Chain A
């Protein structure tokens, strides 16, 4: 159950687009289309942003989108805004019916 690999930090200017990668194995990311993404602001509980690779829960901005290719999933934030500055974690359901989270990415809005 090794953590999924994410870049430690990603930054962008307001209005730009950024992409966060999430690399796993064929036992997790590559095994199912059950990748999810969470946003966490300091001192707050995580918030689900994307589930099932590319679906958005009700109320989540369309600026957030997800995709997957092989063992790597990606989260793209378009039209970057100040409130998007937060930590982002990917997660995947695994072939052992467990879950694994990513190492986390700090997004900075310049």
Chain B
């Protein structure tokens, strides 16, 4: 069974940093692309970033480019999102998701971790 478990969320100050982790199990993590999607309170889904299976290719939404960095450790079956220069508008539930059995969609999702940016 594919399982994705996010951690690392919490309260951060504007301009601060936070690193999210996503522990994966139940599949060969190193074979599949992984991504992050966020959802601000009461709002819709917003794609954040994606990383290829090897980690050699990464893409970002314009809203986070230059501030967030996605990475992965295939030896630890873990996905990361380093978030710097945080802004109030980054407040959201952050979901990690896999592109496992499908090519260009996210078929497995974690339960999400809440990031709150406030002074």
What is A's interface to B at a CB cutoff of 8 Å?
1, 3, 32, 34, 36, 38, 40, 45-48, 51-52, 55, 57-58, 87, 89, 91, 93, 96-104
* Residue from A51, A57, A101 in contact with B104 in the complex, judged by beta carbons closer than 8 Å: A51
Is there contact, CB below 8 Å, between A34 and B104?
yes
Is there contact, CB below 8 Å, between B44 and A98?
no
- Which chain A residue shows the least CB distance to B61? A1
B29 CB-CB contact with A under 8 Å:
no
What is B's interface to A at a CB cutoff of 8 Å?
35, 37, 44-47, 50, 57, 59-63, 95, 101-107, 109-112
Known: A45-B110, A46-B109. 18 other contacts (CB 8 A): A1-B61, A3-B44, A32-B104, A36-B102, A36-B104, A45-B109, A45-B112, A46-B45, A46-B106, A51-B103, A52-B103, A52-B104, A91-B45, A91-B47, A91-B106, A98-B50, A98-B60, A101-B44
Is there contact, CB below 8 Å, between A104 and B105?
no
Given A57-B107, A91-B47: A45 in contact with B102 (beta carbons within 8 A): no
Chain A residues near B110 (CB-CB < 8 A):
45
